[in-house]
Amino acid sequence: MIFEFDNTYSRLPDAFFTRQGPEPVSQPEVLAWNAGLAQDLGLGAIDMAQAAQIFSGNQTPDGAAPLAQAYAGHQFGHFNPQLGDGRAILMGEIVDATGQRHDITLKGSGRTPYSRGGDGRAWLGPVLREFIVSEAMYHLGIPTTRALAAVATGDAVYRETAQPGAILTRVASSHLRVGTFEYFAARRDHENLKTLFDYAVSRHYPLASDPASFLDAVIERQIKLVTQWMGIGFIHGVMNTDNCHIAGITIDYGPCAFMDQYNPRQVYSSIDQYGRYAYEAQRNIIMWNMAQLATSLVPLMPDQDEAIAAFTAKIHAMPDDFNTQWLRVFAAKLGIANPTEQDRALIAQFLNLMEASQADFTNTFYDLGAGDAAAHFKDQSAFQSWQDTWRARIVDDTTARALMAQSNPWIIPRNHQIEAMINTALNGDMTQLERLAIALTNPYTKQNAFADLASPPTPEQEIKATFCGT
Ligand code: AMP
Ligand code: MG
């Protein structure tokens, strides 16, 4: 295996991180391996015994510069000035053949100075969940971190009960979070705040010339991301500012889930008691998170009062921009490429009918595109009348079907299938994981061999809450 590291983050000032390697584990064994991603990263020939050593953290490849990153964050609205990588180690960065830079990070790799009360470890359940869901997200075409490997450690992790430990190798375009900006802003360390800003610009927004245009660009990407999440029924579950990536990619898969029945108030996370991060609330939370980023950027501006006024206006513009982008996403799901404001009512009526019928979000949209969604609705005459209006709105059937086919996935990683996969993996059987991974590689294509994985849960299979599982 070849790693050609080029570690820019480790060349930043000491205040950005603590140099720290992963803690060794007893008996590493590769549970899941992403061969396609390994190839894209140019890792060369890999033998699984060596991969187990490297991706458990037992062996540090030449050129790595392991470190734990410092960051802060608002967790459920409360500011914590000191979070940081409490159970992850950035091993280094690789530039692939296309010139794209990737962080290679081990998650669940032991304690760091930022662990606070935690053990620095992860158990197999959340590691395999992130492996499957982040790769599914990638294949759905939504910006995300990726998963290269899941390695069992051979050591127990103590949660409510003892569980087998595991480590995820996460690959990401960086690990810069809104919380990284908050970290330096809260310390009034404006010199390092400026260094971070310059670094973020060079890594993600080379066209942003100042904090104002940078903020615009981050807001645009976050709106795009969250509307894309909503378009596939995804609920992140912990959109704290430390889990909000500066490049607008999905990061930190914890108690996340795709909804089955359409319910705008859907929450899965067992720790989200008040529905702060419910499906529909995600539109508001992203504005709240961007307001925190804006606040952190103010000190970089020459005139603070002017900056506050200008940045406040940017945040206040978000609802309209969000609604415009949301309209594009949901209109596309109905085969409408250039939506007008009138289409909003058509979409709302469809969603209302779905909600009243407890219709499956994914399958109803897919079946509408495939030609027959009637079976999902309780009130047939209401649906038929909606469908007449919709058909009259569609200008060209072929174009509409093509747009729907690329906007409405046939399969998403369903919560009950992930739980079932974790349970079989706990018994040492990785075949369900492999099957899920393969099915989710082509999410927009109907694959009869995987029909069981695309079906909604029966009432007995339904998972009501997803535990944070840290
Ligand atoms: P999360 O909500 O999973 O993104 O984690 C929030 C913060 O808690 C981050 O700073 C994590 O590094 C830290 N953390 C989560 N789980 C653990 C753990 N088992 N040990 C140490 N730190 C943890
Ligand atoms: Mg996090």
Per-residue model confidence as pLDDT tens digits over 62-77: 999 999 999 999 999 9
Best residue for ligand 1 mutational test, from 115, 119, 163 (most atoms within 8 Å of Cβ): 115
Question: Is the predicted pLDDT of residue 419 greater than 80, yes or no?
Answer: yes
Question: Is the predicted pLDDT of residue 40 greater than 70, yes or no?
Answer: yes
Per-residue model confidence as pLDDT tens digits over 139-179: 999 999 999 999 999 999 999 899 999 999 999 999 999 99
Beta-bridge mates of residue 150: 32, 168
Ligand 1 mean position, distance from CA 129 (Å): 16
- State the helix-helix crossing angle for 343-357 and 380-393, rounded to 10 degrees: 150
* Amino acid 350: pLDDT: 98
Q: What residue's CA is closest to ligand 1, atom 7?
A: 83
- Does residue 340 sit within a domain? no
pLDDT tier for residue 2 given thresholds of 50, 70 and 90: confident
Helices in 250-396 by DSSP H: which ranges? 282-297, 304-316, 318-333, 343-357, 361-370, 380-393
Q: How far apart are CA 315 and CA 321, in angstroms?
A: 10
- Does residue 429 sit within a domain? no
- The 3-state secondary structure of 184-234 reads HHHCCCHHHHHHHHHHHHHHHCCCCCCHHHHHHHHHHHHHHHHHHHHHCCE
The model carries a pTM of 0.97
Ligand 1 mean position, distance from CA 102 (Å): 22
Question: Is the predicted pLDDT of residue 432 greater than 70, yes or no?
Answer: yes
Question: Is the predicted pLDDT of residue 103 greater than 90, yes or no?
Answer: yes
pLDDT tier for residue 231 given thresholds of 50, 70 and 90: very high
Name the token pair of 443. 């999410």
The answer to whether 242 is a known catalytic residue is: yes
- Options 85, 103, 155, 242, the catalytic residue: 242
Question: Is the predicted pLDDT of residue 41 greater than 80, yes or no?
Answer: yes
Question: Is the predicted pLDDT of residue 5 greater than 70, yes or no?
Answer: yes
Q: Are residues 201 and 279 in the same domain?
A: yes
Question: Is the predicted pLDDT of residue 395 greater than 90, yes or no?
Answer: no
* Amino acid 444: pLDDT: 98
Ligand 1 mean position, distance from CA 417 (Å): 25
Q: What residue's CA is closest to ligand 1, atom 23?
A: 86
* Amino acid 468: pLDDT: 55
Q: Are residues 195 and 301 in the same domain?
A: yes
- Does residue 24 sit within a domain? yes
- Does residue 227 sit within a domain? yes
Q: Are residues 192 and 129 in the same domain?
A: no
pLDDT tier for residue 233 given thresholds of 50, 70 and 90: very high
Q: How far apart are CA 354 and CA 378, in angstroms?
A: 9
Q: Are residues 67 and 160 in the same domain?
A: yes
Kindly state the average pLDDT of the residues 43-70. Answer: 96
Q: Domain residues for 284?
A: 178-316
Q: Are residues 309 and 165 in the same domain?
A: no
Question: Is the predicted pLDDT of residue 198 greater than 70, yes or no?
Answer: yes
* Amino acid 465: pLDDT: 78
Task: Using the 3D structure, point to which of 270, 300, 316 is the last residue of a domain.
Answer: 316
* Amino acid 189: pLDDT: 98
What backbone phi and psi angles, to 5 degrees, belong to 80? -120, 110
* Amino acid 57: pLDDT: 98
- Does residue 233 sit within a domain? yes
* Amino acid 328: pLDDT: 98
- CA nearest neighbour of 269 among 128, 468, 76: 468
Contact 175, 289 (CB under 8 A): no
- Does residue 352 sit within a domain? no
Kindly state the average pLDDT of the residues 242-250. Answer: 98
Question: Is the predicted pLDDT of residue 324 greater than 70, yes or no?
Answer: yes
* Amino acid 454: pLDDT: 98
Per-residue model confidence as pLDDT tens digits over 205-216: 999 999 999 999
Kindly state the average pLDDT of the residues 32-59. Answer: 96
Task: Using the 3D structure, point to which of 143, 172, 201 is the last residue of a domain.
Answer: 172
Q: Give 94-120 as a DSSP string.
A: EE-TTS-EEEEEEES----TT-TTS-S
Question: Is the predicted pLDDT of residue 469 greater than 70, yes or no?
Answer: no
Q: How far apart are CA 1 and CA 44, in angstroms?
A: 5
Question: Is the predicted pLDDT of residue 44 greater than 90, yes or no?
Answer: no
Q: Are residues 75 and 186 in the same domain?
A: no
- Count of structural domains, the chain: 2
Contact 326, 227 (CB under 8 A): yes
Ligand 1 mean position, distance from CA 116 (Å): 9
- Residue ranges lining ligand 1, Cβ < 6 Å: 83-87, 114-115, 118-121, 238, 243, 252, 254, 470
User: What number does the ligand 1 atom closest to the CA of 240 have?
Assistant: 2
Question: Is the predicted pLDDT of residue 43 greater than 60, yes or no?
Answer: yes
Q: Are residues 193 and 157 in the same domain?
A: no
Q: Are residues 114 and 188 in the same domain?
A: no
Ligand 1 mean position, distance from CA 85 (Å): 7
Task: Using the 3D structure, point to which of 277, 301, 316 is the last residue of a domain.
Answer: 316
Q: What residue's CA is closest to ligand 1, atom 13?
A: 86
Contact 237, 269 (CB under 8 A): yes
Ligand 2 mean position, distance from CA 242 (Å): 6
Mean pLDDT over each residue of the chain, to the nearest integer:
97
Q: What residue's CA is closest to ligand 1, atom 12?
A: 86
Best residue for ligand 1 mutational test, from 67, 71, 80, 87 (most atoms within 8 Å of Cβ): 87
Q: Are residues 166 and 209 in the same domain?
A: no
